[in-house]
Structure 1
């Protein structure tokens, strides 16, 4: 395993004889992706090159999940591709939660063969400050930026009761209310021109945001439906990089496409 610890790339890279690179992007926890099942991790290490990529809250990276530069992801992945001589059809992006949102955004800016969006959003949402529960005192910013311009986003709408719900790890009401009251059509992630395949896996009982509804909405409003598949699982929680049901679906999907990734 090789550690990268710079402002250009913060990640752990596991080299394999395979040429295909799997990039894993975690959610709103700072640092490297966490809550990754041993079964999935071992499968990926045996069959692929694997990059666990952090993008905020650690090392020289951004302190908060606000205006994170899309270029950071592109350049980090390009660095690995160039160093290990990989091409565009040998990249798989797997993102969970905010990382799923990032993975879908990236489909507009770089080539890859497969994007797997776990409990993802179909919108760019307002970014998250380093102290999440100070969000009512902070100036709102987008989660992502490109060319130093923030991407259009949906601003949060919440009251004190919503904040108390969030402290109990129930964030869904804030997101649903924000979509209803602060809808911004430009914040919807458009992947119509993406040439790769997309797998959405959502949770029926997602308490963080309405991932099933948002995955359905993106597919219904896309001109790229033929390249998309959505699996909704009857699970609670939000950590689909860890749950057996979702891990089995990820492995099955990758196995079916393995011949196209070599």
Structure 2
């Protein structure tokens, strides 16, 4: 699983000058709150602003969160670029990450004098989609969700045969890869997803999410079946008469998307948050 492509990070780094609308200047402040490793990208505007919690996938660190800040903050939405592993003071590998850490990120925004705490969203990609879905289903303060190349279930960590995620000190139900290391990652993920009983246990409670969802998937994903999992999420929510809007945009690319699709993906993410927060 350590070979994951850095899909969300690649989207933001491929075309840094694509979106030229610099409506708002912003400040970047290092966050000092309860052990969070994060930067707050805060637009210079009067009054309170919406905020998005942004983080990456298996690449770890602050890179993807910071890239989100540079992309979204000029449009008048604050971004909390968050690292949850592979940085000083936090886990070094994507293993046994406590969801309380992400909830603390909401708590920080909830009490910040410049943030409208009724308008908080989250964006995550690839392995980060797991954290985004878990956070949004656990905490109703999340009012808008964007995920790229999403998973519909939680998975084990990168180096331990245990769930990547915990809550209240207990493992969140998660799947292990199927087959063995001789098989491709896609085949190993698909084999695990064939176990309907374990999938049901590890499936996120999407119906608990308190806001609209934008799914962005890759139709030729060579890492895991993000397109099919996004379709499954759509059907799951439709069958449960989900009250909020669900949009699924798919692209005929691999897991890391492409230079050609990056402009549309960036624009769709920004527009989603502008229209839902």
TM-score for the superposition, normalised by structure 2: 0.78
Counterpart in 2 of 1:146?
167
Shift of 1:73: 0.3
SS of match in other structure, 2:207 = coil
Shift of 1:23: 1.3
SS of match in other structure, 1:154 = coil
- The 1:249–1:36 alpha-carbon spacing in structure 2 relative to 1, beyond 3 Å, is farther
- Deviations along 1:52-108, one digit per CA (max 9) or x if unpaired, are 100011111012211100000011221133123534431110111111111111112
- Deviations along 1:160-180, one digit per CA (max 9) or x if unpaired, are 322xx4xxxxx3222112212
Does 2:109 correspond to 1:101?
Answer: no
Counterpart in 1 of 2:41?
14
SS of match in other structure, 1:172 = helix
- Deviations along 1:164-201, one digit per CA (max 9) or x if unpaired, are x4xxxxx3222112212585111001121222111111
Match of residue 117, structure 1, among 118, 124, 147 = 147
Counterpart in 2 of 1:79?
108
Q: CA RMSD in A?
A: 2.6
Shift of 1:220: 0.9
SS of match in other structure, 1:114 = strand
Counterpart in 2 of 1:254?
273
- Deviations along 1:95-128, one digit per CA (max 9) or x if unpaired, are 1111111111111211222011111100001111
- Cα contact 1:97–1:120 (8 A) shared by 2: yes
- Cα contact 1:7–1:60 (8 A) shared by 2: no
Counterpart in 2 of 1:215?
230
Does 2:254 correspond to 1:231?
Answer: no
Does 2:3 correspond to 1:3?
Answer: no
- The 1:238–1:89 alpha-carbon spacing in structure 2 relative to 1, beyond 3 Å, is farther
SS of match in other structure, 1:199 = strand
Match of residue 193, structure 2, among 179, 192, 199 = 179
Match of residue 198, structure 1, among 210, 213, 226 = 213
Q: Which runs of 5+ in 1 are unaligned?
A: 130-137, 166-170
SS of match in other structure, 1:252 = helix
- Cα contact 2:111–2:117 (8 A) shared by 1: no
Q: Which runs of 5+ in 2 are unaligned?
A: 1-27
